Chains A and B, each alone.
Chain A
Amino acid sequence: MTNAAMQGTYLGEGSGPRAWLLTTDHKRVAWLYLISLTGFFFLGGAMAVLMRIELATPAGDLVSDDGYNRLFSLHGIIMVWFFLVPSIPATLGNFLLPLMIGARDLAFPRLNLASWYVFIFGSLFALFSVVAGGVDTGWTFYTPLSTLYANGWVSTAAFGVFIVGFSTIMTGINFIVTVHTLRAPGLTWFRLPIFVWTLYATSLVMVLATPVLAASLILIVLERVFGIGIFNPDLGGAPLLFQHLFWFYSHPAVYIMILPGMGVVSEVLPCFSRRPLFGYKAVAISSMAIAVFGFLVWGHHMFVSGQSAYAGVVFSFLSFCVAIPSAIKVFNWSLTLRKGEISFETPMLYALFFLALFTFGGLAGLFLAALAVDVHLHDTYFVIAHFHYIMVGGMVTAYMAGLHFWWPKMTGRMYSETAGRIAATVTFVGFNLTFFPQYMLGFNGMPRRYHTYPPEFQFWHVLSSAGAVVLAVGYLMPLFYLGLSLFRGARAPDNPWHATGLEWQTSSPPPPHNFKTMPVVTRPAYAYDMKGLEHERFSPYREEAAE
């Protein structure tokens, strides 16, 4: 990649470790994150595959009970904090936010690089916990199990998550300030691409919720290491207090994870339909509504915890309310396709699969918000299926859509379209085969986090395990053809998809400071319907001499 063609682009600005590890270019920091997160994704994924192999038979035969408990705990901890939370914001968001708003970089480039180092520092603690023998608390760290009874490396893992939280906060602050201060002339709030809106909403949640997680994890470490009574009733503490604190962060965190995915899909669907996003304002406002309502629903994780029944009623009501902005988005995305000129390149396939999986995952959320039904389904595989439909079917699929959509911009190379479409389809099939049976398991009463299970559940478990293998293939494929494209891929034009966003108006890959001249925005986002321009590459932006 270090040939003459990269001269004048951000990739041509030095190639040694120093040039990458000390960079403050948001595009290079995005790559640092992308590479680290890919490592964590496959580490967490490998643990999931081991679990699914273990669960192919009712008895525990591949790993011991403690081994299994460590697998699902680490799978959760790694996937949530070391992949899903930073995934789209720290990679695609980092790369694209300044490009999409016509800025030369994020507001605080050094803070951006620092956030990656903090992330790596925190992840060292987590990796140490893995190597040293694991953690057996589940990713939820429920007390008093985590503080008094767990045998694993709980304190180091919790401390790792605590540190990574600071990296999240740094990214959040950086994005908020960037969106407020660095928008190009003419780029008003309601001209912002929805991806920027969702990154903004995500950042607000990151900054407001993560400190609560940090506080609760530190309290765990204090109780575990120093015996200070906070959650342990024997020391005068309250076990449920931890659940309140944990979910006060972790429910909004679910929206940290899904909102950016919604943003990506809002970019891809209009582009490949050649239509403006239907109901732009409704989608933008609903993103903010999700961010706000997300803070008020944490108690729906605790309907059977011994929390007051009337608190349960209030939390159920608010949970149904948070379903509404999500439904609004789905309706608007669907209508975006109407009367378009739809083509089915890889990013579009992923985006359509997102739409299906997110819808069916979201509808399952209604079951869990309905109190009496949740009593039955809580802590069963139904919850696992719901969560993975949103987080993997939704978020990871959107991440793949985004990665394929902006890959030409990020690398200056095109990947194999055929391979991309096959991988997207394999992922979709494998995903449903893995997780749909888990809805059936949950409805029939199979509890989660079980190393062994009654034999009548085996049929569904075998289907799910078979699906996991297919899904693994679907996720491994891009590693190869995207990797190959770096060396053999055709040169990407500046705007291969004929998209309208500002990021497509600069070269592929972009120059070190993104734009040679400062763009001035005169049109709304997604102006795919300008007369006579539906099929053509066009530029809705005037380029004017800057300074």
Chain B
Amino acid sequence: MSFGVPFVPQEASSQAGQVDALFYALLAFSVALGLALTGLVVGYAVKYRIGSKADRTGKRSRSLPLEIGWTMATLIVAFIFFGWGATLFVRRDHPPADALEITGLGKQWMWEFRQPGGQREINELHVPVGKAVVVSLAAQDVIHSFYVPAFRIKQDAVPGRTTHIWFIATEPGSYHLFCAQYCGTQHSEMGGWVTVMAPEQYAAWLNSQGEGETLAASGEKLFRALGCSGCHGANSKVRAPSLDGIFGRPVPLDNQQTVIADDRYLRDSILNPKKEIAAGYQPVMPSFDGLIDEGEMQMLLAYLKSLSPQPTAGARP
């Protein structure tokens, strides 16, 4: 019907319909108010044009009830739209507990994804329909932004930290994946497709990609290769704290404070170990800043998370 011209975007995620409901409510309000004001101004301009015979008695140039009235009316409308938008928004922080966890790494100028089973993809992302997916995002160099218009989701990937975005795809098909945050020369080329598949096709696709090594398994190898296991390993509890079940656990620090061992804490402890020292240990760990890149950081974090008994997929404590 639209001759290939896009008038409205596809809705292909569980969020899309909810966001669009708010969008169309805003649109209805804006068009109604905009047209009412336009009608008013054009009406006045015609009726009270110079020389017209319109009745001009009862002029007023101020009205306190009117000022209070429209101030209150706009306040109420504003609060409704604020509350509606905020309610949908805070769900971003609460992905379903059973979500599939995929890692995404943005670098100039490509997206690199790793499926839970270790399958790697560049500028392509395959996901099953009807299943919650959390993408943990990191950036190798500059800020990028993971944007799938058909899902109505967007999240920046920021160097030096991990961010998350989740969605439930509802319609099989291929959808644009863009980088939305300007990231340099080939910014507009940085993207590809998200392919949503029926669960059995997704499983078949995963198999066809070969087993691959899971991110956590790569992380474990790296953990040994970098010598982390020398101190943190099961047999050397004297020098460094054990990391079994570390993720999501409270860690007492030597300055009497306690922090939760989340993505941020683990990342900082690897790159800047003297910043927050676990109580009872000497600050002897060397920094790995500059020795590992962002992809390797993702592997290490995945490995550390895998040491926790319950997978807390994507949950941000």
Residues of chain A touching chain B, judged by Cβ–Cβ distance below 8 Å, are: 60, 65-66, 69, 136, 138, 142, 144-145, 148-150, 232-234, 236, 238-240, 273, 275-282, 303-306, 309-310, 312-313, 316-317, 320-321, 323-324, 327-328, 330-332, 334-344, 352, 355-356, 359-360, 363-364, 366-367, 369-376, 378-380, 440, 443-445, 447-454, 456-457, 459-460, 529
Contact = CB atoms under 8 A, between A and B. Distances in A.
B147 A321 contact: no
Given A370-B22, A380-B180, A233 B159 contact: yes
Contacts of B161: 233, 306
B153 interface: yes
A367 B23 contact: yes
18 contacts: A60-B188, A65-B186, A142-B182, A144-B143, A276-B61, A303-B89, A324-B71, A324-B75, A324-B78, A337-B45, A356-B41, A370-B22, A370-B84, A372-B87, A443-B9, A445-B147, A454-B176, A460-B5
Contacts of B108: 149
Contacts of A334: 37, 40-41, 44
Contact of B156 (A273, A305, A320): A305
A340 B26 contact: no
A355 B34 CA distance: 10
A339 B89 contact: no
A87 to B, nearest CB: 25
B49 A342 contact: yes
Contacts of B152: 372, 375-376
Contact of A370 (B7, B54, B81): B81
Given A279-B63, A374-B85, 7 more contacts: A142-B142, A142-B143, A281-B62, A339-B56, A372-B86, A444-B7, A445-B147
Interface in B121-171: 141-143, 145, 147, 149-150, 152-156, 158-161, 163
Q: Which 8 A-B pairs have the closest CB atoms?
A: A445-B149, A233-B160, A370-B85, A372-B88, A371-B89, A450-B188, A337-B44, A363-B30
B23 to A, nearest CB: 5
Contacts of A234: 159-160, 289-290
A28 to B, nearest CB: 36
B211 to A, nearest CB: 33
Nearest to B275: A236
Nearest to B44: A337
A36 B85 CA distance: 44
Given A339-B59, A373-B19, A456 B184 contact: no
A234 B292 CA distance: 11
Given A316-B85, A320-B79, A240 B185 contact: no
Given A144-B141, A331-B70, A340-B48, A443 B8 contact: yes
A359 B34 contact: yes
A66 B187 CA distance: 10
Given A370-B26, A374-B85, A375-B152, A279 B50 contact: no
B188 A452 contact: yes
B67 interface: yes
Contact of A457 (B6, B19, B182): B6
B181 interface: yes
Q: Could you tell me the dominant secondary structure of chain A's interface residues? A: helix
B284 interface: no
Contact of A309 (B19, B90, B153): B90
A352 to B, nearest CB: 7
Contacts of A313: 86, 89-90
Contact of B74 (A148, A275, A323, A373): A323
B189 interface: yes
Contacts of A366: 26, 29-30, 78, 81
Nearest to B188: A450
Interface in B71-125: 71, 74-75, 78-79, 81-82, 84-90, 92-93, 108
B48 A341 contact: yes
Given A316-B85, A339-B56, A373-B22, A306 B155 contact: yes
Contacts of A374: 85
B70 A445 contact: no
B38 interface: yes
A337 B89 contact: no
A468 B53 CA distance: 41
B154 A376 contact: yes
Contacts of A232: 159
Contacts of A450: 187-188
Contacts of A363: 29-30, 33-34
Contacts of A380: 149, 180
Contacts of B30: 360, 363-364, 366-367
A279 B62 contact: yes
A306 B50 contact: no
B298 to A, nearest CB: 15
Contacts of A65: 185-189
A295 B97 CA distance: 39
A338 B48 contact: yes
A337 B196 CA distance: 55
A449 B34 contact: no
Contact of A379 (B56, B78, B160, B181): B181
A136 B184 contact: yes
Interface in B1-60: 4-9, 15, 18-19, 22-23, 26-27, 29-30, 33-34, 37-38, 40-41, 44-45, 48-51, 54, 56, 58-60
Nearest to B73: A327
A374 B89 CA distance: 9
A142 B9 CA distance: 29
